[in-house]
Amino acid sequence: MGKPTGFLEYKRAVSQAQRPAERIKHFNEFHPPLNMEQRRCQGARCMECGVPFCQSGMILGGMASGCPLNNLIPEWNDLIYRGNMQQALKRLFKTNNFPEFTGRVCPAPCEAACTCGLNGDPVTIKENELSIIEYGYDKGYVRPEPPAIRTGKKVAVIGSGPAGLAAADQLNKRGHFVTVFERSDRIGGLLMYGIPNMKLEKNIIERRISIMKEEGVSFVTGANVGGNYDAKAILEEYDSVILACGASRPRDIKVPGRESKGIYFAVDYLKSATKDILEAKNTTNLQDIDFTISAKGKRVLVIGGGDTGNDCVGTSIRQGAASVIQLEMMPKPPLTRTEDNPWPQWPKVFKTDYGQEEAVDVFGQDPRVYQSTVKEFIPNEKGEVCKVKIVRLESKYNKEANRYIMEEVAGSEHTEETDLVLIAAGFLGAEPYVAEAFGVELDGRTNVKTEAGKYKTNVDKVFAAGDMHRGQSLVVWAIREGREVARAVDEFLMGYSNLP
């Protein structure tokens, strides 16, 4: 512990985001980093606790507490303070294949479990992590390192999201020949098309993919396995197969008028916007982007209060929405932890994300409407949605379900005018056709079925990982599963594994 009094001497300082009025003019990242001296002070705030909950990755209260990757956080925080960034990078790579992704999009359960946060402000772990990896890229320390010896074994990875990429990276380092099959036109899965450009610029993904290619990983795009690509042929050609296709079936809102035009799943809307931005090759002049699905001048209704719903709010504002309403079924969270949600559990408290901040700046109010949902979509004479019937909800105990559920409040219906509806109500699990193509079993939640804590399916040499295996989750969990399935596959192929 290089600075025992650091947490007393330095206050938490994060990179200051561009003002909402400025950042909504573009689709680029908007958090200029702190300089190195400021970052060293933030590293010095780490107490290097006797029990570092920040790196525990435990499940407490049904949610992750600490880093699921078990990152060696106190170690590299101390190395940042000492200015030994190259060694910090080596320690970071011990547990995380892609810190340039998690350092941007992870909600930082590590910080929620930081001991400094028990009676003050937590260490800026997420930004410290990002500073290490970007320093490594700037100085040329992150470069292709192909394996010296090849095993001759061939592995197919179906899906190029964070789980698939992590598995491919690990197995390639081990010396296996790895081919990643992606049904879309670009590599990255959720990272490429599920997360907007202003949260994760796509050149960041392409930078990493370029390195992986030079290290020997093969990528095939436009490969819809179970569709235009034969699963049987892949099973015959490869020694092992990993299914990492994500949980990409969006949850629908099945109410009258659902067939109206102008209603889209959030995942389709965000993917379309990202593709249009990439094809325009200019994210600084919004007038140059011809959006396939545009919110310009429209009254937007976002159904869903999670991260994806927030991304829809931020994207629609950048496109020039006339207004934005965001419906959230659950009650508004408390401002501070409740007694039944103690540290180091994930804090179930109210937060305002970037999209909501921008809505407040542009429209003068928070777009979120709590304890509400849509009861009916009302189309005009052209079949286009023009109004929605919204109903209030309240939490009531249901004896049959033995839990509290949200029920409609009688007489609370009202209508809102809208021109564009974006459904961000979560996901139901894996798309069955890929599982059917390989003959693997699904569980009751349509996730690929394996033994608890295992990754091998009922089909010989076929494994599963990521959201397709565990259900919709965080990027950091996907990377962890990718690393763990790689070890399982390595043991299957070689009889043992030296992968971490």
Domain residue limits at 322 = 263-423
Residues 91 and 204 reside in one and the same domain: no
Has residue 128 been placed in a domain? Answer: yes
The answer to whether residues 298 and 342 belong to one domain is yes
Whole-prediction pTM: 0.96
pLDDT at residue 90 in the model: 98
Residue 499 in any domain: the answer is no
Residues 242/469, Cβ–Cβ less than 8 Å: no
Pairs from 391-396 (Cβ < 8 Å, separation ≥ 24): 393/329, 395/331
Q: How far lies 269's CA from each of 38, 312, 433, in Å?
A: 38, 8, 23
Residue 1 in domain: no
Backbone angles phi, psi at 448, to 5 degrees: -65, 130
pLDDT at 288: 75
Q: Answer yes or no: do 419 and 436 share one domain.
A: no
For residue 401, what are the CA distances in angstroms to 194, 283, 396, 404, 468?
Answer: 33, 49, 11, 8, 27
- Element holding 186 (H helix, E strand): none
In a domain? residue 213: yes
Per-residue pLDDT of the chain (500 residues), as tens digits, is: 678 899 999 999 999 999 999 999 999 999 999 999 999 999 999 998 889 999 999 999 888 899 999 999 999 999 999 999 999 999 999 999 999 999 999 999 999 999 999 989 999 999 999 999 999 999 999 999 999 999 999 999 999 999 999 999 999 999 999 999 999 999 999 999 999 999 999 999 999 999 999 999 999 999 999 999 999 999 999 999 999 999 989 999 999 999 999 999 999 999 999 999 999 866 566 777 899 999 999 999 999 999 999 999 999 999 999 999 999 999 999 999 999 999 999 999 999 999 999 999 999 999 999 999 999 999 999 999 999 999 999 999 888 888 889 999 999 999 999 999 999 999 988 889 999 999 999 998 889 999 999 999 999 999 999 999 999 999 999 999 999 999 999 999 999 999 99
CA dihedral sign of residues 207, 210, 214, 216: positive
Q: List the CATH number of the domain containing 393.
A: 3.50.50.60
Q: In whole angstroms, what is the distance from residue 235 CA to residue 306 CA?
A: 38
**Are 418 and 443 found together in one domain?**
no
> Are residues 268 and 216 part of one domain?
no
Residue in 17, 24, 20 with CA at minimum distance from that of residue 284: 24
Q: What's the pLDDT score for residue 50?
A: 87
Give me the helices (H) in 281-353, please. Answer: 307-318
CA–CA gap between residue 478 and residue 467 (Å, rounded): 7
Q: 489: closest CA among 93, 153, 217?
A: 153
Question: Is residue 257 situated within a structural domain?
Answer: no
What is the rounded distance in angstroms from the CA atom of residue 86 to the CA atom of residue 76?
10
Coil, strand, or helix at residue 125? helix
**Closest listed residue to residue 94, CA positions, set 75, 107, 113, 78:** 75
- Domain edge (last residue) among 103, 138, 173: 138
User: Looking at the structure, do residues 440 and 329 belong to the same domain, yes or no?
Assistant: no
8 Å CB contact between 88 and 132: yes
| Same domain (yes/no): 287, 323 | yes
Residue-level pLDDT at 1: 66
146 part of a folded domain: no
Last residue of a domain, one of 138, 170, 186: 138
* CB crowding 40-67: b at 16 or more within 10 Å, else e: bbbbbbbbbeeebbbbbbeebeeebbbb
> Is residue 392 located within the same domain as residue 293?
yes
- Is 148 part of any domain? no
* Cα–Cα dist 352/371, whole Å: 17
Query: Using an 8 Å Cβ cutoff, are 164 and 483 in contact?
Result: no
Looking at the fold, whether 208 and 337 belong to one and the same domain comes out as: no
Pairing of strands 462-464, 240-243: parallel
88 Cβ neighbours under 8 A, 6+ residues apart: 75, 76, 79, 80, 132
Q: Are residues 226 and 311 in the same domain?
A: no
Instruction: Say what the pLDDT of residue 76 is.
Output: 96
Residue 229 within a domain: yes
Q: Are residues 216 and 297 in the same domain?
A: no
**Cα separations (Å) of 25 from 7, 19, 52, 196, 281?**
37, 11, 41, 14, 15
| Residue where one domain finishes, among candidates 109, 138, 167 | 138
**What is the CATH number for 67?**
1.10.1060.10
Mapped onto helix, strand or coil, the DSSP state of residue 453 is coil
- Helix 85-93 / helix 73-82 crossing angle, nearest 10 deg: 170
Question: Are 267 and 406 in a shared domain?
Answer: yes
Q: Structurally, how many domains does the chain consist of? A: 3
Look at residues 248, 275, 246 and name the one whose alpha carbon lies nearest to residue 475. 246
CA distance 54 to 59: 12
pLDDT of res. 282: 60
